[in-house]
Structure 1
Amino acid sequence: MPGIALLVFREVLEAALIITIVCAATRGVPRRGLFVGGGLILGVLGAMLVALFAGALANAFSGVGQEVFNAGVLLAAVFMISWHVLWMSSHGRAMAAEMQALGGAVQSGSSSLMMLLLVVALAVLREGSEVVLFLYGMVAGGAVGVLGGLALGVIAGSAVGFALYYGLLRIPLRHFFSATNAMLMLLAAGLAASAARYLVQANLLPALTDPLWDSSWLLSNGSLAGQTLHILIGYDARPSGIMLVFYTVTLLILLGGMRWVSRAADPRAGPAAAAIAAQPQS
């Protein structure tokens, strides 16, 4: 049971941290919980569907179907998160002003919520499919304590996600959107690098140099700290050159896009800021 609990914990933790950061970044947006719940349900259903067709998926694309599938899910998540980062760059300042002036009654963000639903669904789909396939193999092999390990892993992974979420909410509002946008950028870059690793494994991309460096002596990929940093900032103890290219290009695109969007959004932030400035001081 401990081995099952540890594996489930790792997979749930990865999905939980992704969902946590994105949820924190949509703080104050109405009906967010509905979209998060919808994403969770879609992700679980998708994971079950993947498990049902696991054999066909593994044999697809000349036997590298699982790698191609994982890379596709990761790149889709990168796109969704990147869209959200750019959306927040243009609306975050106005949302912060409205939350301060109206006590959190923010009425914008419905378009971003659809992206939230998709990011949650993709995170649960990828990690959930791996959990389902692993547990299926364990049950077929006669393993015992599967349900207990599953429950323990889910509870522990979810608890860490909730702890991070409530920690993020303690960030002062004036710094909140900048902090969560920075975390989302690093998250997207890390997911892009992971997608590159899967594409190298599928022989669809050259590794360039593999490994580019080896920091396993300092922090291994298998350690809890290494896994957490891998999720949050894309840490890899033995990255290939193409992974670094994907990571860097994603960061540069997002940084450039944020600067461009922020400049274009400045005039729209004026009315909300002016309304606060015009309020009588107590």
Structure 2
Amino acid sequence: MGGQFGQIAFIVWRESVEALLVVGILNAWLAREGAVRGLAGGRAWLWGGVGAGLAVAAALAVALLFFAEAFGDEGQDWFQIVMVFLAAGLILQMVAWMRRHGRNLKRNLESGLSAASARASGWGVFVLATVAVAREGSETVVFLWGTFATMSGSALVAPIAAALGGLLAAVATYGLLQLGGRVLSWRTFFQATEIMLLFLALAMLTTGVDRLIGLDLLPTLSKPLWSTAWLLDDGTFVGGFVAALTGYRARPDLTTLLLWVSYGLLVWRLVTPPKAITLPVREVRS
């Protein structure tokens, strides 16, 4: 259970920092260029977009709740399994997206604001803020749904507290990042959290496979191949915490091992930049 709370806190922390980064870039540009570019009231459009983005994420949460309630017990098991795999896929997509666009994120956002200012329209600012916040908020909703869906009543107090803790940690982290490389650089932050996200995606995939095995929809293919319970048992509090954040299993079977190997190959492909193709140059004879 502690590992689930760790997942919640980490996801809210990471996604909130990214959302704060986007909003901070937009706000800084408006403070510097807004009046000059004819967007004197741009901040009102910005915060309106932030509110709209949060509303979109909240609407997604309500929609997921509606669909979950529409299924029976067996249907909810399937729904949660689908959400776990979807969340893992979104994490991989997010890592890939940040690797492609993270370096030019500020430039791209400021280009969008420049285009909006050319039309002297606050709607461009509103749409940029809405899309950015809705994207981070919606990803967070999907990531957290599988955990929250299994809890009810007073059991929700702890995960909500973990989410609030993650949000407060995000604000503090953003403050440190704004100080620049003297304390913590954006590059270091994204590199470290990228590794943590990749492990978290593996944890979600392993959980999904465990559930499919529990429903007799996947075979284990073997008895446990080895046991590291003597070193770290995933049935203990500390071991369960590590398992929830990394996908660790003390007694993995062949199906789990094949998942780990396949995932490792996929991540290697994801993080390894493609090699440039050099075409042979034919000698031209006169």
**Do both share a fold (TM > 0.5)?**
yes
Correspondence 1:161 to 2:161: no
Residue identity matched to 1:158: A
Correspondence 1:19 to 2:12: yes
State the aligned residue count: 229
Correspondence 1:76 to 2:86: yes
Residue identity matched to 2:13: T
Residue identity matched to 2:61: G
Residue identity matched to 1:42: L
Give the aligned CA root-mean-square deviation in angstroms: 3.8
Aligned partner of residue 79 in structure 2, secondary structure:
helix
Q: Could you tell me how far 1:22 is from its partner in structure 2?
A: 3.4
Q: Could you tell me how far 1:183 is from its partner in structure 2?
A: 1.7
Structure-2 separation of matches of 1:110 and 1:263: 37
Verify the 8 A CA contact 1:44 1:124 in the aligned structure 2.
Answer: no
Structure 2 gaps of 5+ residues are 24-48, 114-124, 177-183, 278-286
| Percent identical | 21
- Summarize deviations over 1:205-251 as a string: whole Å, max 9, x none: 22123433333343333444333322332223333332232233223
CA 1:90–1:199 in 2, change beyond 3 Å: closer, same or farther? same
TM-score (norm 2): 0.63
Q: Could you tell me how far 1:172 is from its partner in structure 2?
A: 1.5
Structure 1 gaps of 5+ residues are 1-6, 136-145, 265-282
Verify the 8 A CA contact 1:14 1:231 in the aligned structure 2.
Answer: yes
> Which of 124, 137, 144 is equivalent to 1:124?
144
Structure-2 separation of matches of 1:229 and 1:14: 10
> Which of 2, 9, 29 is equivalent to 2:22?
29
**1:1-282 map, 5 Å:** 11-25=4-18, 28-30=21-23, 35=53, 38-39=56-57, 42-43=60-61, 46-47=64-65, 50=68, 52-53=69-70, 56-58=72-74, 60=75, 66=77, 68-95=78-105, 115-132=135-152, 135=153, 146=154, 150-151=156-157, 153-154=158-159, 156-158=161-163, 160-162=165-167, 165=170, 169=174, 170=176, 171-260=184-273
Structure-2 separation of matches of 1:188 and 1:251: 11
Aligned partner of residue 29 in structure 1, secondary structure:
helix
Structure-2 separation of matches of 1:174 and 1:109: 23
Larger C-alpha radius of gyration, 1 or 2?
A: 2
TM-score (norm 1): 0.63
